[in-house]
Every structure is written in C-alpha cells, then in structure tokens.
Amino acid sequence: MPPRTKRRTSIADVARLAEVSVGTVSNVLNRPDRVSPTTRERVEAAITELSFVRNGSARQLRAGTITTAGAIVLDVANPFFTDVARGIEDRLEEAGYTLMLASSDEDPDREARYLKLFEEHGVQGVMVVPSGPDIDHLRTLHDRGLRVVLLDRPSTDPALSSVAVDDRAGAAAAARHLIDLGHEHLAFLNGPHTIRQCADRSAGIHDALVEAGLDPATCLEEITITALNADGGQAGTERVLAMERRPTATLCVNDLTALGALRTLRAAEVPVPSGMAVVGYDDVTFAGELATPLTSVRQPMHALGYRAADLLLADDESAEQVVFQPELVVRESTTGTG
C-alpha cells in the first residue's frame, strides 16, 4: 500500500500557525500545566483548525516504514468477526503488515475513540464495521489521508471502498426454505434496524413472504433483541413461546442468537424442528457441531476479511465495492425428525 500523496499535518505546522515553538506545542499535548492558559488556548485553536492528530508511534517507527493497519468490528468475541479478523490478518501478514484490532460493541463513541487511537499510532489504513448508519467521520479520515475500507457493509460514499455480503438475498433464501417446508407463520429474532445487516435481513424475509403470497403483517413476528448473542436469543425465544398464536419457525439474526434459541427450546421441551424449526445466520464453526445441527446462512467470513485487507493494500487508490453472495446450508434444525 503506497503512502497517500497528501501530507499529514505535523506538530511544526501547528507551531507555525500558533506562533510558538515546537516544544510549546509538545507541552500543550503532554504537559499542559506548564503552559499559560492564553498560549494553551492559541495552540489548541491551531490544532483544531489544522485537524492535527498526534502520531503516538512516531518515536518507534522510521518515516515511511509504518506497516500497521487497524480494524474495528462490532464484537471480536463473535465467531463471525473472529474469522473475518483472521482473514484480515492473513492478508496483512503476506504484505508484512501488523493488525491492531478492536471491538466497538455497536457504540459510535467507542468506535470514535479507537479510530482516534489508531490514527495517533500512525496506522496507514483502517477497516471498519460501522456501528451506525452515519459514515461521515470515516470520509473525514479518508480526506485526511488515511485509507478507509468499510467492512461487512456496502459503502454509500463513492470515495470509500467496501466489502460486504448480500444479506437481503441470504435472509430471503432462509425464509424461502422455511416456506417451502410449509411454515407460514415465522418469528425473526433481530437487532435494531440502525445496524445495516439487521435491516437488510429483515427486508429479505419480507421479500420471501411477499413472493410466496403471504402477508408479512400477519405471517411474521419480528422481535428486536438488545444483545445479538445467546442471551439475546434466549430472551427473544421466551417471548416467542409466550405468544398465544405461536410461530412454527424462528429465524435468528446470527448463529449466537440461534444458539440461545435452541437452548431455550430444549429447556421448554419444545422439539426441534417438529415443535419449532430454527435457522441461524453466518454458519460459524459450531453450527454443524451442535446436538441439533443448525441450518444457517453461510457467509464467506475469511474471504470477507482477506478481501478488505486486499483493498486496503491496493496500489490503486480508486474505491471499489465488493459484494459476496451467501449460501444456505440446510441441516437438522429445519429438516430433522426431532
């Protein structure tokens, strides 16, 4: 990945604008108590005007030889993102780069803090699963000279590259599979629609129902869960089981959620799939190893991360949008005899 042609603002630039020494700027950054309030305000105004970001790794790295890239995912503990991160790491290692990895926990403020930290440490590029719909801050990073690739989300900004999976098609395939098995009343355990994947998967299920001549308003119970993990799956499934008109199949926003659903159904002595069919999403490693192997929508997790890193390292700075197609993997949680 070649260095961007746009030079980053230096501490000397700040010093010139504020009409102080480089040492004074350094004190404002590191020992502000040693600087008078008037001078400190002048330096801080210059920092803001120039969008200066300190380079925390400058003392350790020779100029022009920084070989670090950053990645921010929603939750590195989720096996989906673990496999994505491994794909990123494998591609970066081929190019002699190292990876700084962080989890945003779907918190925009936490994401912003890590982006600032990465930039201070001199990374040459970042791959980000945005925690919200707004990506203006990522465009700002790009305009400051940092390579930016959106991960697991298509870009709405033509200047930013992205790598994503067609989640709408994947969810539609899962719902179509259940409809073909005779299920006409579905539950969907989903996260908030502010998360792009959640919105797209909901739309895909609606597409399949309408295609089959079924009304989503009466044939789909979408339940928003606050945690996209096994505990969230348990809470959502408990609500499904309490419904007077209980759905016959449950789609889950990811495999961790499906794990919680299966656990809850087993505790309630509801057989799977005869009492409730269950479909996950991602097809992580454990999906096929469960007591009741899980039908799931397989995403190319390693390839997703590998390609994102590939775009980050590309010699050509033009943006590229890459979309992978998912694959439905059918197992006993929908077609078994349980």
Per CATH, the number for 167-299+329-335 is 3.40.50.2300
pLDDT of residue 337: 80
For the stretch 45-101, pLDDT in tens is: 988 888 887 655 444 433 344 589 999 999 998 899 999 999 999 999 998 899 999
7: pLDDT confidence band, cut at 50, 70 and 90?
low
* In the chain, where the domains are located: 1-51, 69-166+301-326, 167-299+329-335
Least confident segment among 3-17, 40-54, 103-117, 267-281: 3-17
Instruction: Measure the CA–CA gap between 14 and 274, rounded to whole angstroms.
Output: 69
Q: Which long-range contacts (CB under 8 A, 24 or more apart) does 153-160 make?
A: 153/129, 153/196, 153/197, 154/196, 154/321, 154/323, 155/319, 155/321, 158/319, 159/319, 160/135, 160/319
The pLDDT assigned to 49 comes to 87
**Residues, the chain:** 338
What pLDDT is attached to residue 55? Answer: 57
Mean pLDDT of 331-336: 95
| Same fold yes or no, 1-51 and 167-299+329-335 | no
Q: Which CATH superfamily is domain 69-166+301-326 in?
A: Response regulator (3.40.50.2300)
Mean pLDDT of the chain: 90
Per-residue pLDDT tens digits for 173-226: 999 999 999 999 999 999 999 888 999 999 999 999 999 999 999 999 999 999
The CATH number given to 1-51 is: 1.10.260
